[in-house]
Amino acid sequence: KHGELGLFIIDYRLRMKAPFRSVRRDLEIAEISRALKALAKELNIPVIALSQLNRMLEQRADKRPMMSDLRESGALEQDADIIAFIYRDEVYNKEPDNPKKGTAEIIVAKNRNGATGVAMMHFHGQFTRFEELAPDSYQEFE
């Protein structure tokens, strides 16, 4: 009726409920993670599941997110083909002369079939839009 499904996005996967009730939320999250992986394989489409981070990164000097910062992350780390984060230094370092203001790091922390690393982007806050930076324009940030 509406054509083929080409992409499935879940905004905030922790709000999802598993088909069974468990006293351990991590077991429910593991079941949801496996179900999303099975859905991707069955429909042969990418499934993007957005997730919140736990508060551990707020206690570190370096606020860049890591896979262990994913809330109830064990199953997600295992099942995901790609895990990526967005880090904007200006969120944590609010100095007016912050040289990283207006930039974002796209951190590919896991990539089962490819490279991992960081891509620097320009962040247009008024449009919530990211734009590629020229590679030679961010050497000072590495």
CA distance 60 to 49: 25
Q: Tell me how far CA of residue 83 lies from CA of 1, 50, 54, 116, 133, in angstroms.
A: 33, 10, 15, 9, 21
Q: Is the pLDDT of residue 31 over 70?
A: yes
Instruction: Give the pLDDT mean for 88-113.
Output: 92
Render pLDDT for 51-91 as a digit per residue (tens, 0 to 9). Answer: 888 888 889 999 999 998 887 667 888 889 999 999 999 99
pTM here is 0.80
